[in-house]
Amino acid sequence: MRGREDEWTGLMRSAMAGDDVAYHRLLKAITPVLRAAARRGLARAGQPPDQAEDIVQDILLAVHLKRHTWDSEAPFAPWLFAIARNKLIDALRRRGRRIFVNIDDFAETLPGEAPQETASASEVAAQLNTLPQRQRDVLQSIAVDSASIKDTAAKFSMSEGAVRVALHRGLAALTARLRDR
């Protein structure tokens, strides 16, 4: 545990110093841990685990947009888990009110069927469609078509700076919509 968390702290320090590869590795490394925590949380609240991926994506977006609140002298894991806990509680609260009825419906029509295990998430994708055209184009190009910022700039005849701005604004807008939905 100790070793893993020290490694995260090191990766995050490199990421904050501008190392995009370290940042990518860090996000990949924390995702399975977040996923397991989200599933445990859902199970304890008696909710189906297929929403775990939405929660994971919520947490990742918050980590990204709030990483300036991390103190690079402090260990990374307590900061990460505080954000994860916050997002998980939010998600359970929100779903708790809305979804219990649906679970009852589900249990009646499909008795005994185990909840489906899936790694797809629908909420980020759904909110993506509500973004302004330019932000959506840029996000889709980078996320779905795996294009670089440079290629994306060429594709839409934009400057790289404009692509970066649209990318960041798009991520911030996505997060705001997920929070306020």
Contact residues for other proteins, defined by CB under 8 A: 15, 18, 20-21, 23-24, 27-28, 31, 53, 56-57, 60-62, 64-71, 74, 78-79, 81-83, 85-86, 90, 119-121, 124-125, 128, 139, 142-144, 146, 148-149, 164, 167-168, 171, 179
As a whole number of angstroms, the distance between CA 3 and CA 27 comes to: 17
Shortest Cβ 36–other proteins spacing (Å) = 13
Shortest Cβ 168–other proteins spacing (Å) = 5
Are 26 and 48 contacting, i.e. CB atoms less than 8 angstroms apart?
Answer: no
Shortest Cβ 35–other proteins spacing (Å) = 8
Task: Closer to other proteins by CB, 42 or 56: give it.
Answer: 56
Encoded tokens for 58: 């919520």
Are 167 and 133 contacting, i.e. CB atoms less than 8 angstroms apart?
Answer: no
As a whole number of angstroms, the distance between CA 170 and CA 172 comes to: 5
Shortest Cβ 111–other proteins spacing (Å) = 31
Cβ atoms < 10 Å from Cβ of 15: 20
